[in-house]
Structure 1
């Protein structure tokens, strides 16, 4: 963790704990009471429309939670950098709302983004000391879409270094899980998962190449979406493997996820994959929030990913029963053995060569002071073998993986070409065919077959795409996967259900997840980040 963060945060600590003054308004007010950590984006927007809440007050309330819990108290360490202009921007948007009304449902809503998405006004480091202070030439496309919608970037979030490996990096250090400080928030979007669970913003952005939105959503007990490949532009995202890379929202409710998703879609000339979304995307996904969506639905259950943990299995079975009670038909399905056995090999055959080539494409857009290819990153990493005075730490686990990446073949290699040309379409067609043959609306399974691991777990026990997790099926196929909290273990660790659909079936998944969410109501504020006095707001 950089000592500079403490100096930046101290400026916010001097600010008053706002929002308490809201309760001291007119004694005759009949405005509803909202809790910051429970209020949905539509509820917050309605309160701002009614004049009982301002974006400035909302930003300050979130900053107060960051101050209390991120670098103090449980010291979750989710934030790489707070936006020094967040309050000023909130004031500007409050005035704009007063004069001309809101730009979108996200107007004045604070969001946090993973620090591998470019921001022209703040550094983008991918969590590496080797990119410390790097200011990219412009905003990532999705960041610009959020700003244009009136969202406020509250800060950049900690992550796995270069979006791979454990929930730590050389520049920001180790991230903690707000439900259990000794357990991992999972990677690579671990900072986003922990921050949203802890109530530091209304929505967070993660990226997903091999489960990096879904693992942290599950470990921290929030809603997350691995979007269909091509639904959201990756322009301005530090690449890991563009054949798999996606950007996805992470929120505390399906409603907030639907609201956020709608303002981020769009065809981007700088990202050819978004051409696939033409006539397949929406600017308003809230229209699919139907509490009766499970009635008549046909849900497939992939039980091959169960039987590792009794508590997880119990909660999955309870969720399946809730689906049946809501009118869904639940049937068991099986993936072909060849797919289960080959999925990890297919993943790595694409992931390693693409990072080797594509990280170089990104690095050449940066200033001359930064490495220009993977060999340059490895050379610089080898100069750091102990913690520095500024808090930078070694990250040998991630850097060791770079050895495998740099040894990968080029993008003209026969194995890479064969997997990309034939295997990936085969996986997509197989899953799509299975769902069509069985007339399924979604295939479900536990996102993680066991609760979040201990941070100090034995090293060297797994590697990306090892095949132990079901989540890479969505990356290999390019299909969407929506994560929904379904309950907690006896020791208070969250468990989630994955809902896998076919290409651009986000509307169906949002409807199913919303209907199940209303029955289960399984999101809870983590024990280490309880409500603060200033979290009580006045609604409309």
Structure 2
């Protein structure tokens, strides 16, 4: 997939990308002062790995024109040139000092005839709320967690390493996965500062997986991993011209990931092509005894998602498109209609539906669920993490004591509201969970039934 194809993909995802242009989600002055308005990631010299897919990189390593080490060196050089210099994308919050040594070990394996799979030797970046038991910190972008090093890898990081991927570094994010303030700025964290959109430096990256979106889009890595509670993979993927997927909760382990919501959280792949996203998904997926979220039928999960990538896959499929987006801002609506026409040309039947209007009334109940689950999950994570803050109350106190550095642009009212909650046995929480689960299911099943599609 080249830049033109990725541009078409961006158009297809424009409803999610509306947030990129929202006047309520502008980047801070520190991000845009003296910065040109577009073309931030263009180089004077073509990048040797520009838009290279996982298959491209594997082919080069198989032929001996590249090694895992040389790939890492090239991506690390590009990070150095673009992350804190030049356009200052601030997508990568930290690089892995062990990356080249890991790459060397994988090159030795390849030379000895052992290739673990499609990710063998491939440099990957992970979001900074995912534990890695190495020299790097895990902070969720928060100064309150600066210096914290995880005791062990998150389950999905273990799977990445087992697949032969090279953990190249960690990506910036909207601090605490954008669950700190109602006035937050997407892509900003007190540790990593403001991430910038590589297509237009003064436009939002969206969030919370902003750094992963920017890094994959700007060719700072081969593929990246984000996490999502409610749009945090798919929205920055849309805004940065990527393929992003939120898997069904339970397909990927959440163990070792700083949480928001035990009912909604999951990690997900972010890549420049559908095939690369499918490869990464296959490497990450798998049951984890430590994660209570399970698929209804885990044995049905395939080991290789690329087998589903067929040129005629859309023939005979019925796809719902939200009506409101087709009547949105004219430029965006026009591009969305072009994307719909492209889907129809591939054999899909498009059904216009009204979903947003029907699920909007659930917003208050959903937010209550997140408030309760965030405190519960973060307190459990911090209780055993070995960080200098041991619970949410400590985080709030740290931010207040370091207000100038930690909260220069917006405060922490969501953290404060979450701290006020009193546990998952509260009837208000249980009622909110019941309402969101049953009512959202009713809306979706109703739409499918009314439009002659199979209920979920």
Q: Shorter-chain-normalised TM-score: which range?
A: 0.7 to 0.9
Q: Counterparts in 2 of 1:217-296, with a 5 A limit?
A: 217-276=237-296, 278-296=298-316
User: Could you tell me whether the CA contact under 8 Å between 1:232 and 1:274 is conserved in 2?
Assistant: no
Tell me what 1:13 maps to: none
User: Could you tell me whether the CA contact under 8 Å between 2:362 and 2:436 is conserved in 1?
Assistant: no
Tell me what 2:361 maps to: 342
Matched, 1:197 2:217: yes
Structure 1 residues without counterparts, runs of 5 or longer: 1-19, 21-33, 388-392, 442-500, 503-540
TM-score, normalization: structure 2? 0.84
Tell me what 2:14 maps to: none
Tell me what 1:102 maps to: 115
How far the C-alpha of 1:409 sits from its partner, in A, is 4.3
Tell me what 2:343 maps to: 323
Tell me what 1:142 maps to: 156
Q: Distance in 2 between matches of 1:219 and 1:115?
A: 20
How far the C-alpha of 1:360 sits from its partner, in A, is 0.4
Residue 371 (structure 1) aligned to one of 360, 379, 389:
389
User: Could you tell me whether the CA contact under 8 Å between 1:231 and 1:277 is conserved in 2?
Assistant: no
Q: Distance in 2 between matches of 1:224 and 1:283?
A: 19
Residue-by-residue CA offset, 1:112-156 (whole Å, 9 max, x unaligned): 000000010021011111111111121000011000000001001
How far the C-alpha of 1:335 sits from its partner, in A, is 2.9
Matched, 1:352 2:352: no
TM-score, normalization: structure 1? 0.72
Greater relative CO, 1 or 2 (CA 8 Å, sep 6+): 1
Distance 1:309 1:436, change over 3 A: same
Residue 381 (structure 1) aligned to one of 389, 396, 399:
399
Q: Distance in 2 between matches of 1:61 and 1:359?
A: 36
User: Could you tell me whether the CA contact under 8 Å between 2:322 and 2:355 is conserved in 1?
Assistant: yes
Residue-by-residue CA offset, 1:172-224 (whole Å, 9 max, x unaligned): 11111111111121111111111111101111110001111112111111110
Distance 1:336 1:186, change over 3 A: closer
Distance 1:281 1:386, change over 3 A: same
Tell me what 1:27 maps to: none
SS at match of 1:105: coil
Q: Distance in 2 between matches of 1:301 and 1:61?
A: 41
Q: Distance in 2 between matches of 1:193 and 1:288?
A: 24
Q: Distance in 2 between matches of 1:386 and 1:422?
A: 40
Q: Distance in 1 between matches of 2:188 and 2:94?
A: 15
Matched, 1:44 2:57: yes
Distance 1:175 1:126, change over 3 A: same
Matched pairs, number:
405
Structure 2 residues without counterparts, runs of 5 or longer: 1-45, 179-183
Q: Distance in 1 between matches of 2:122 and 2:356?
A: 44
Matched, 1:301 2:321: yes
Q: Counterparts in 2 of 1:178-189, with a 5 A limit?
A: 178-189=198-209
Tell me what 1:87 maps to: 100
How far the C-alpha of 1:396 sits from its partner, in A, is 5.5
Q: Counterparts in 2 of 1:107-122, with a 5 A limit?
A: 107-121=120-134, 122=136
Q: Distance in 1 between matches of 2:73 and 2:449?
A: 49
- The 4+ residue runs of structure 1 with deviation greater than 4 A are none
Q: Distance in 2 between matches of 1:373 and 1:240?
A: 14
SS at match of 2:384: coil
Q: Distance in 1 between matches of 2:384 and 2:205?
A: 31
Distance 1:403 1:336, change over 3 A: closer
SS at match of 1:111: strand
Distance 1:173 1:207, change over 3 A: same
Higher mean C-alpha displacement, 67-76 vs 323-332:
323-332
Distance 1:123 1:62, change over 3 A: same
Q: Counterparts in 2 of 1:492-507, with a 5 A limit?
A: none
User: Could you tell me whether the CA contact under 8 Å between 1:56 and 1:87 is conserved in 2?
Assistant: yes
Tell me what 1:125 maps to: 139
How far the C-alpha of 1:433 sits from its partner, in A, is 4.5
Aligned-residue CA RMSD (Å): 2.1
User: Could you tell me whether the CA contact under 8 Å between 2:94 and 2:169 is conserved in 1?
Assistant: yes
